[in-house]
Amino acid sequence: MKDFQTPILVVQKLRKQFGLGCDHCRDMKPEHLEKNYCPKCGTVYACRDVSFELYEGEILGVVGESGSGKSTMMQCLYFDQEVTAGTVSLRSYKNGKNMFAESAQQKRYIRNNMFGMVYQNPIMGLNMSFSAISNIAEKLIAAGNRNVAAMSNRGQDLLDEVNIPLFRIKEPPKNFSGGMQQRVQIAKALSNNPPILLLDEVTTGLDLSVQANVLDLIKKIQRELNISMIVVSHDLAVVRMLADRTVVMLNGNIIESGLTDQILEDPQHPYTQELVYSLL
Amino acid sequence: MGTKYNFAFFDEGSKREIRRATLKAVAIPGYQVPFASREMPIGRGWGTGGLQLTLSLIGEKEILKVIDQGSDESVNAVNIKKLIVSTTGVQTTIDTRKATLIQSRHRIPEIPLNKEQILVLQVPIPEPLRVVEASEHKTKRLHSESDYSGAWLMLFEQIMKYDSVTHGADYPVIVKDRYVMSPSPIPRFDNPKLNNSEALILLGAGREKKIYAVPPYTKVISMAFEDYPFRVESFSGQKCHLCGAQGVYLDEIIDEKTGEAYYQCNDTSNCLMRLNGGK
């Protein structure tokens, strides 16, 4: 039987600051900071003790304005950036050992086997001059696969899954449209069947019909593969469509969390209210 | 010329520094050891890395052989030989079996080397990951973490595009199950000779300021996927038109009058030895 009660991913007091901090700002009290940075020493507190949980098969939405720390949080979870403090644990990894404290090699193992990441900008997630199929193989190779036939089959299946025509899979992604690049990224992120997928503003900058395509794909992946996802977006419509639960971030803090419907219909925090009512 | 040079061109301090780097390279097979590459009387990219290694190691009793792409008599080989001889007075040979120190550009001799010999290879680009990662800072980190997915990806991309690995020379190898190493632009044909070699093999990159080594009896494996095994060049039954040798690395030469291709030993000293009846 599946365990629905214990979360698959637990993030506790994740903190990411840029700068050393000073006596004035170290307590991170709102009255000592201007938004998320200290006017005395210039330290930026991108994420201030962010804590949340992710359950199996669930999509967690993260909304907030630009600079609220959403992307920094995602990059910390994917080990693109070192955290200042905090813990993250995965149910399936060493009985919930804190992964931030692992060695660089272990982190790479976790990245390649436990997580898939889709960046807002495909340049971050893809090698633009290698073929689409090699891009997918990259993650498989990194996870230790050394069989060309197996990798190229897996790559073809995945690219087919995300509707990239078979005759274009040997082209480099730089020849592709923005929506196609995003779909290649999704295929790449899925290549190792990760239990968790991190999606950072995946539909931002895409036109509406392509957006709908990508969102459909994400929904389908969740339904069919039962993968847990964290979806970052500043677009409430995207979050409304995808997310079961949502957290709202402001100045590096989580200011509100709950069921997506609840947050969108009955926002409690003044900022969330502003955000919801400004929705066209 | 009135100028009197020190034995082997370098001052003793310089030799010591290069030898220290060399010792470290031997201690960590396949690891690129940085060293203070010196300004040489030949241009960078013309074998300064190999030359510095040779000059730091050479002694009065050494018997020197210098090869350039298999040939003992090409301009580059001759000039390097001249420079070394004029500052050391050592004996030279073209006979691979008699040489104690062999400096080579892009070939490992056909005659198997023995444990009394040292082979010095000249290297233009020592970093096997340079194609996939431009930053030295990052490639150093990738080596330290043994993260070679970039090198594998390069091979995979070639297989996807051309259905085979297209590295003709400088085919990357894994040394002692740890470091991925660029063997210098020797043909794939010579890669197996690196494995379990009796002779010490030293590689020097003057422009890139790196020394690395394959100590004797070290496991050196050419990178290859399970279902695309490593293959050397095949000459499909061709033989040298001079000495008739088969199973050696051959140059394809086109006769300009008839347009016909014929083949000739790349290793000239081996060819000559065969023509002289093995002497």
CA A79 to chain CA mean position, Å: 11
Q: Which residues pair with B175 in a beta bridge?
A: B179, B220
Residue B36: inside a domain, yes or no?
yes
Given CB atoms, is B163 within the 8 Å cutoff of chain A? Answer: no
Predicted local distance difference test score (pLDDT) of residue B57: 96
Interface test with A, best of B143, B144, B160 (most A CBs within 10 A): B160
DSSP summary character for residue B135: -
With CB atoms and an 8 Å threshold, state whether B156 touches A151.
yes
Q: What CATH number is associated with residue B183? A: 3.40.50.11310
Residue B146: inside a domain, yes or no?
no
CB pairs under 8 A between A and B: 44
Say yes or no: B203 and B247 in one domain: no
Annotation marks residue B243 as catalytic: yes
Say yes or no: B46 and B115 in one domain: yes
CB B216 within 8 A of CB B193: no
| Residue A2: band (very low, low, confident or very high) from pLDDT cuts 50, 70, 90 | low
- Sign of the torsion formed by the C-alpha atoms of B39, B43, B46 and B51: negative
Q: Which residues pair with A198 in a beta bridge?
A: A117, A230
Predicted local distance difference test score (pLDDT) of residue B214: 98
Say yes or no: B212 and B240 in one domain: no
Say yes or no: B240 and B123 in one domain: no
| Residue B176: band (very low, low, confident or very high) from pLDDT cuts 50, 70, 90 | very high
Say yes or no: B185 and B270 in one domain: no
Residue B154: inside a domain, yes or no?
no
Task: Tell me how close the Cα of B278 comes to any Cα of chain A, in angstroms.
Answer: 44
Q: Looking at the predicted structure, is the pLDDT value of residue B2 above 60?
A: no
* pLDDT digits 0-9 by tens, A166-175: 999 999 999 9
| Residue A54: band (very low, low, confident or very high) from pLDDT cuts 50, 70, 90 | very high
Residue B150: inside a domain, yes or no?
no
Say yes or no: B59 and B28 in one domain: yes
Least Cα distance to B167 among B178, B149, B152 occurs for: B152
Q: Measure the CA angle with vertex B240, ends B235 and B242; round to 5°.
A: 170
- Per cent of chain B over pLDDT 70 is 99
Q: Which residue has the tokens 């500052």?
A: B87
Q: Which residue has the tokens 């980190």?
A: B141
* pLDDT digits 0-9 by tens, A219-234: 888 888 889 999 999 8
Contacting residues for B180 by C-beta, under 8 A, at least 6 apart: B30, B128, B129, B143, B148, B151, B172, B173, B174, B223
Does the interface predicted TM-score (ipTM) exceed 0.90?
Answer: no
Say yes or no: B27 and B101 in one domain: yes
User: Residues B30, B47, B50, B204: which is the catalytic one?
Assistant: B30
Residues shown for chain A:
280
With CB atoms and an 8 Å threshold, state whether B160 touches A105.
no
Predicted local distance difference test score (pLDDT) of residue A280: 56
Residue B168: inside a domain, yes or no?
no
Say yes or no: B54 and B181 in one domain: yes
Residue B240: inside a domain, yes or no?
yes
Residues shown for chain B:
279
Given CB atoms, is A149 within the 8 Å cutoff of chain B? Answer: yes
Amino acid occupying residue B124:
P
Say yes or no: B184 and B245 in one domain: no
Contacts of B228 in chain A (CB under 8 A): 148
- Among A residues 82-121, those touching chain B with beta carbons less than 8 Å apart: 104-105, 108
DSSP summary character for residue A84: S
Residue A208 neighbours by CB distance under 10 Å: 8
Say yes or no: B45 and B182 in one domain: yes
Predicted local distance difference test score (pLDDT) of residue A83: 92
- Per cent of chain B over pLDDT 90 is 90
Mean pLDDT of chain B: 94
Predicted local distance difference test score (pLDDT) of residue A222: 87
Q: Looking at the predicted structure, is the pLDDT value of residue B101 above 90?
A: yes
DSSP summary character for residue B212: E
Residue B26: inside a domain, yes or no?
yes
Provide mean pLDDT across the span A99-119. Answer: 90
Say yes or no: B277 and B215 in one domain: no
Interface test with B, best of A138, A140, A152, A192 (most B CBs within 10 A): A138
Say yes or no: B206 and B239 in one domain: no
Contacts of A148 in chain B (CB under 8 A): 156, 159, 225-228
Provide mean pLDDT across the span B141-162. Answer: 93
Task: Tell me how close the Cα of A13 comes to any Cα of chain B, in angstroms.
Answer: 29
Q: Looking at the predicted structure, is the pLDDT value of residue A259 above 90?
A: yes
Task: Tell me how close the Cα of A35 comes to any Cα of chain B, in angstroms.
Answer: 34
| Residue B37: band (very low, low, confident or very high) from pLDDT cuts 50, 70, 90 | very high
Q: How many CA atoms lie within 13 A of A112 on its CB side?
A: 18
CB B255 within 8 A of CB B262: yes
CB A14 within 8 A of CB A83: yes
Host domain of residue B58: 12-128+173-220
Q: Which residue has the tokens 């709202």?
A: A248
Inter-axis angle of helices A132-142 and B149-162, nearest 10: 140
Interface test with A, best of B157, B159, B177, B227 (most A CBs within 10 A): B157
No. of helices (H) and no. of strands (E), chain B: 7, 12
Given CB atoms, is B157 within the 8 Å cutoff of chain A? Answer: yes
Predicted TM-score (pTM) of this structure: 0.86
User: Residues B47, B49, B70, B265: which is the catalytic one?
Assistant: B265
Least Cα distance to A275 among A244, A245, A239, A241 occurs for: A239
Residue B124: inside a domain, yes or no?
yes
| Residue B207: band (very low, low, confident or very high) from pLDDT cuts 50, 70, 90 | very high
DSSP result, A183-235: HHHHHHHHTT--SEEEEESTTTTS-HHHHHHHHHHHHHHHHHH--EEEEE-S-
Domain count, chain B: 2
How far CA A136 is from CA of A184, B6, B148, in Å, comes to: 8, 57, 16
With CB atoms and an 8 Å threshold, state whether A134 touches B145.
no
